[in-house]
Structure formats: structure tokens, C-alpha cells
Amino acid sequence: MLKYFDTPVLEIKGETVEKCGIRLFVKREDLNHPFVSGNKWWKLKYNLEEAKKLGNETILTFGGAFSNHIYATAAAAKELGFKSAGVIRGERILPLNQTLSFAEETGMKLHFVSRTDYRTKSEEFFIEKLRASIGDFYLIPEGGSNSLAVKGCAEFARKKLSPIEFDYLCLPVGTGGTMAGIIAGLEGKKNIVGFSVLKNGDFLKDEVRRLLLEFSPREYSNWHIQADYHFGGYAKQTPDLMQLALEMKQLNNLPLDPIYTAKTTAGIFDLIEKKYFNRGSTVLMLHTGGLRPASPEY
């Protein structure tokens, strides 16, 4: 099993929260593992257990050039003694960025495919072509979101979030698995607000519903996805977003990644200003990781 470190809850102070009568906290789940951090730890937990149970030696998954999931899967596979393969959307561009360099350095074999071919990654002919080239493997979908990922995130919600006092839980959403698991794990309690990191992210509502139905027949109505805080789309940034991340680091000692948690933080502050949260409420943000150690070593 992957190593896991318990994580603290940090209170965020500042004029915005104080004048609106809101208490804002962050669950620092980015500190649960040096490389398989945040929600990735929980999404991978039961997938890796299943791969071991089935006797698979290789983990294969998919992602873009800046994928936190690729980074975390490569590290998790190395820690647990699996081989790993990553199917990467787009051409191989040298020098490799930090994410892909780390993946290769930890032993992941990278396979670059065109964006056209990547869109067929769920088709059986594409999977069989990979098996013919790579050999047998245990497949984890892009972003790690499947029923076993939902199971892991539901466990996280029950064990680590339920004991915390809060009214709203806010988290970034990329593929929907983490949000689905947390909704199920909290069993209809609290208000859960997801922030899409993808442009035109309204489709994520259907994806969360699908994942929930696969995991449990129970229906939940205590959640919503905000689709207006993507800042241009996945892996896109703006000067204002980067300024916010800098201020959070300086004023609250809270590092944020630009792809997920910085966008969620910006969205939370905007909603506070717009009085979306009831005055006197406690808002808890989930830090889902995505930070890169300055000089990762194994």
C-alpha cells in the first residue's frame, strides 16, 4: 500500500472573508504524499490494489503533457513495484516538461499519440493495439476516474472530511471522480461546490452523475459545479490568477497549483464577494495536490 501522511487544516485569513462573515479553511491533502499527492492518492488506492490482485505487472494510463495523474501514477507504480506506461496526447516535444521528465525518470514508458488518435483511447481497437505493442496491462482511465477511484474518494470523505465542521466543501473538478466520491462519502450532508478547470465544463455535471450511479443507486442533490472559473481552459493561466497564487503563498503560506487549486481559490473568493455563501458559514476547500517538488528524488 502507498505511504500516507495525515494532513492539517489551515484557516485562511483576509479582508474578503472577514468582511463577508465567512470562515475559510483548507484541507491540505497536498501533503499526504510527496509525489502521489492530494486526490490522486485516493483515486489510485483501490485501482492499484485491484491490479495487484489480478496479477498485473504493468499499469497503463492516459493524460496530457501536464497531467497530475500521469505524474502521480508513475510515482505510485515505482513505489509499489509496478511497471508503468503512459499514453500522452500530442507530439513528443524536447526538452520534456517537468511532468513528463519525472514520469520517464521514475520508469514510465511514454507513448505519444496524435490528438485524433487520442480521442479513440476508449475504443476497443485502440486498447487492443496498445496490448499488441506493450503487452498485458491494468488500465486506469484518464484522470484515474472510475468506480474504484470513486470508492477511494468516498473513503476519504468518510474518514478525513466527516470529522471536520464545515457548511460548504469546495474542490476543483477535472474528470469528476473525486467529486463523485466525496458526494457519496458524505452521504448527502453539507453543500458541495465543484469548480470546473475545463472550458465549457458543464458536461462534468453529467459525468459526476454517471460516476455516482455506477457507484451507488442513491441520488444526491446537495452539489453543484461552477463552470465560470476555468481562466481560459485546462492548464491556462492569467496574470491575475498567478498574482492570487503568489499572495496566498506570501500571506497564508499556502502554495497553489495553477491548473486546479488556484482556480478554485479564485472562484471561492469571487463567490464570497457575491454572497453566494450564507453569512456565518464555514467554507472548506480541498487542496487536491498538483504541486511539484523542486528536485524529486527516488
Sheet arrangement for strand 108-113: 108-113, 83-89, 58-63, 138-139
Same domain, 53 and 151: no
Same domain, 132 and 19: no
Give pLDDT tens digits for 204-263. 999 999 999 999 999 999 999 999 999 999 888 899 999 999 999 999 999 999 999 999
Residue indicated by cell numbers 505519444: 112
Q: Does any domain span residue 26?
A: yes
Q: Does any domain span residue 82?
A: yes
Give pLDDT tens digits for 129-159. 999 999 999 999 999 999 999 999 999 999 9
Residues in the chain: 298
Give pLDDT tens digits for 83-115. 999 999 999 999 999 999 999 999 999 999 999
Q: Does any domain span residue 292?
A: no
CB-based contacts of 158-161 (< 8 A; 24+ apart in sequence): 158/185, 158/186, 160/7, 160/27, 160/29, 161/27, 161/185, 161/186, 161/284, 161/286
Same domain, 241 and 152: yes
CA distance 75 to 52: 16
How many Cα atoms within 13 Å fall on the side-chain side of residue 229?
27
Q: pLDDT > 70: what percent of the chain?
A: 98
Over residues 180-189, the mean pLDDT reads 97
Q: Residue 119: is its pLDDT beyond 60?
A: yes
Same domain, 117 and 178: no
Helix (H, G, I), strand (E, B) or coil at 288: coil
Same domain, 136 and 175: no
Q: Does any domain span residue 298?
A: no
Calculate Rg over the CA atoms of the chain: 19
Q: Which domain, by its residues, includes 161?
A: 9-35+146-286
Over residues 277-282, the mean pLDDT reads 96
Q: Does any domain span residue 151?
A: yes
Q: Does any domain span residue 243?
A: yes
Same domain, 271 and 228: yes
Residue type, 158: R
Over residues 114-120, the mean pLDDT reads 96
CA distance 137 to 130: 9
Same domain, 28 and 153: yes
Same domain, 154 and 212: yes
Q: Does any domain span residue 294?
A: no
Q: Residue 78: is its pLDDT beyond 60?
A: yes
Over residues 191-198, the mean pLDDT reads 97
Same domain, 191 and 282: yes
Split into its structural domains, the chain has a count of 2
**Mean of the per-residue pLDDT values of the chain:** 95
